[in-house]
Structure 1
Amino acid sequence: MPQTLAATAAVELAVVERSGFIESRHSGAAVVLSADGVVSERLGDVDALILPRSSLKPLQALACMTAGAPLEGEQLVLATASHAGTDRHVSVVRDMLAAARLGEEDLGCPPAWPLDQATRDELVRDHSEPARIRMNCSGKHAAMLLTCVTTGWDPRGYLDPEHPLQVHIREVIERLIGEKVAATAVDGCGAPVYAISLLGLSKAIHRIGTASQTSPFALHRHAGTLVRAVREHPWAIDGPGRPDTVAIERLGVFCKTGAEGVMVMVARDGTTVALKMLDGSGRAATAVALRLLERVGALESSDVAEAMTRLPLSVSGGGKDVGAIRPAF
């Protein structure tokens, strides 16, 4: 049975400190690629398989673009997003569905409450219920539906791994990672997610993060457009005050969190990090990625330190900060 790296193949990436006591440890694997795409650091078994989860979304969004989906600006970012479900996010997703002449009932993702607490509280006060469009992956699903309508593929069954859309997405993913997918699983939102190596994921994200909008190759032009859109609309990929949005706003990186402790991040000079927390916790993932980019000189220490203060890394006790979640290096 395909599986991710073993505990014996992992290294310590982060610790949780409470009142001077190391309370918990997060182990995993991470790989750093230099600006020109060469592996400069390996931590743990980076050849092991992982499920990228939502860190796969940039690749899926690119596949939608190459199939002809008219995605740009905020809509393109929502196609790549794990959004917080605010009214602003939902408005963009509704526009994407309207362009496809489809409705919320056509979304294949499950109903969910928004990740944004204030929005959720307001919906509860209004006696609303979980909705598909509030689910953090609804932008990706709307983009997939729009792609089907644009290309003439039947949008019904669009999540089936053998649907023409998913076959095309898998082909684009394999082209970007430089390897064949090892297994197919069902993501939390119902879409196919593929087992690939952490190293393969890093190579794909590096190709995306360093692509030029003036490239003679359409895939690279689309990738350059995607990265530019994310940097211009960082609120859309996550949400105000949330980790991906903070990192993009404060440091200009291109990044995408994935469930179960996956993170990919590209600095403006092209230096790339991909990591997987073995225990599935993502609470330290952004901080670890930032520190890895900092220690190879891709980010300024002062800028990283300032961004860290805006991430949810504090450990509380008795209503006070008594410690922190921090990288183990």
Structure 2
Amino acid sequence: MSAATPQRGTFAAADAVELAVVERGGFVESRHIGSAVVISADGDVIRELGDPRSPVFPRSTLKPFQALAAIASGAQLTPEETVLATASHQGTVEQARIVRGILAKGRLRISALKCPPAWPDDREARDELVLGGHGPLPIFMECSGKHAAMLLATAVSGWDRATYLDAEHPLQERVREVIQRMTGEHISAASVDGCGLPVYAVSLQGLAAGYARIRTTTHDSPWPLYRDAATLTDAVLAHPHLISGVGQPDAVLIEELGALAKVGAEGLLVAALPDGTTAAVKVLDGSLRPAAAVVVELLASVGAIDGPALARVRARLDLAVLGGGQPVGEIRVTAV
């Protein structure tokens, strides 16, 4: 690429701000820069850091929109199955069982999943797989719930199952429609996510607006998509551990704040509170370790959560820096 050729991408380092530091013994060992935004339920910007208007690939923070597209296309899911369709799961025995249940509804085999095979992150499930003489399987890939829900939607709708990953597939066209409707933005770029499905670029501000709409909609909305969004929110709030795993950052935000929260690869996290106040962050170096702390501190800084709630969340996040197995420092938010 020549120097004169413009490079597409997210915001540059010059447009970012320092979000957090990693301190060890009072010495700043690392610095995380990025952008973030807090919006109201009406979409008004309450606070912004860096450049939240440039596009980002939301990665797995797109999953609520993708799940809604599958549901709108005919995938009838139980609450637990709805969460798995939205999840980046750890491959626990329970989570794998629920994914199998989604596939069974469409009389689909595990081999129909087009996500890459993976070992479960969960130790119990991994041990069970090894003792059974199995290798990695696609059902244990963190995105298998989303893929299973999409496959069920294609089966119900009579669409081709073998090509559901293709951007031109009717289901993926519906995904784009849902993303654009909920975020209020046009998609600015597209590529392929780690699981093989299309991924679409929107801004942090648009991503936050989409989450706010999902979190604040009601079951009596005149619009079916919004009624489905209310059902999805109820499911996530009822089964927070299924969206990732016990003690994971997004699960903690759901449990402690009643937020619709989701992490995404490459440093993304979004959390929408019950009143619609929503924070979204992108850590520019792709690290997720400061993301939840940044989000919760931002929400506290605008008065959306109180001191006790902030303290409860911080106590459950993995913010300690260890030396010899003992705390010698912390991940500390500096942007607030």
Give the alignment's TM-score, normalised by structure 1: 0.97
- The answer as to whether partners of 1:74 and 1:92 remain within 8 angstroms in 2 is yes
Matched residue, 1:177: 183
Matched residue, 1:24: 30
Gaps of 5+ in 1: none
Gaps of 5+ in 2: 1-6
Matched residue, 1:299: 305
2:194 is aligned with 1:188: yes
Matched residue, 2:221: 215
Classify 1:321/1:121 alpha carbon distance in 2 versus 1 (closer, same or farther; 3 Å): farther
Tell me the amino acid that sits aligned with residue 63 of structure 1: A
Over the aligned positions, Cα root-mean-square deviation in angstroms equals: 1.3
Matched residue, 2:88: 82
Give the whole-Å Cα distance in 1 for the aligned partners of 2:123 and 2:302.
36
Q: In the TM superposition, what are the counterparts of 1:258-297 in structure 2 within 5 Å? A: 258-297=264-303
Q: CA deviation at 1:233?
A: 0.7
- The answer as to whether partners of 1:30 and 1:275 remain within 8 angstroms in 2 is yes
Identity of aligned residues (%): 54
The structure 2 residue matched to 1:255, chosen from 261, 270, 273, is 261
- The answer as to whether partners of 1:111 and 1:132 remain within 8 angstroms in 2 is yes
Give the whole-Å Cα distance in 1 for the aligned partners of 2:314 and 2:119.
27
- The answer as to whether partners of 1:2 and 1:182 remain within 8 angstroms in 2 is no
SS at match of 2:316: coil
2:63 is aligned with 1:50: no
Give the whole-Å Cα distance in 2 for the aligned partners of 1:212 and 1:268.
11
Tell me the amino acid that sits aligned with residue 91 of structure 2: G
- The answer as to whether partners of 1:251 and 1:304 remain within 8 angstroms in 2 is no
Deviation string 1:13-70 (CA, Å, 9 cap, x unpaired) is 1111111111111110101002332111111111111000000000111111122211
Matched residue, 2:3: none
Tell me the amino acid that sits aligned with residue 89 of structure 1: Q
Matched residue, 1:131: 137
SS at match of 2:121: coil
Tell me the amino acid that sits aligned with residue 103 of structure 1: R
Q: CA deviation at 1:127?
A: 4.4
Matched residue, 1:112: 118
- The answer as to whether partners of 2:208 and 2:272 remain within 8 angstroms in 1 is no
SS at match of 1:308: helix
SS at match of 1:102: coil
Matched residue, 2:212: 206
Give the whole-Å Cα distance in 1 for the aligned partners of 2:292 and 2:185.
26
SS at match of 1:61: helix
Q: In the TM superposition, what are the counterparts of 1:121-160 in structure 2 within 5 Å? A: 121-124=127-130, 126-160=132-166
Give the whole-Å Cα distance in 1 for the aligned partners of 2:229 and 2:306.
26
- The answer as to whether partners of 1:213 and 1:221 remain within 8 angstroms in 2 is yes
Give the whole-Å Cα distance in 2 for the aligned partners of 1:46 and 1:249.
27
Matched residue, 1:236: 242
Give the whole-Å Cα distance in 2 for the aligned partners of 1:35 and 1:313.
29
Classify 1:322/1:121 alpha carbon distance in 2 versus 1 (closer, same or farther; 3 Å): farther
Give the whole-Å Cα distance in 2 for the aligned partners of 1:274 and 1:139.
24
Q: CA deviation at 1:242?
A: 1.6
2:47 is aligned with 1:41: yes
- The answer as to whether partners of 1:234 and 1:245 remain within 8 angstroms in 2 is yes
Give the whole-Å Cα distance in 2 for the aligned partners of 1:200 and 1:221.
20
- The answer as to whether partners of 2:293 and 2:314 remain within 8 angstroms in 1 is yes
Give the whole-Å Cα distance in 1 for the aligned partners of 2:259 and 2:130.
35
Q: In the TM superposition, what are the counterparts of 1:67-106 in structure 2 within 5 Å? A: 67-106=73-112
Deviation string 1:205-250 (CA, Å, 9 cap, x unpaired) is 1111111111111111111111111000111111112221122112
Give the whole-Å Cα distance in 2 for the aligned partners of 1:302 and 1:124.
44
- Number of aligned positions between the proteins: 329
Q: CA deviation at 1:115?
A: 2.2
Give the whole-Å Cα distance in 1 for the aligned partners of 2:123 and 2:267.
21
- The answer as to whether partners of 2:268 and 2:281 remain within 8 angstroms in 1 is yes
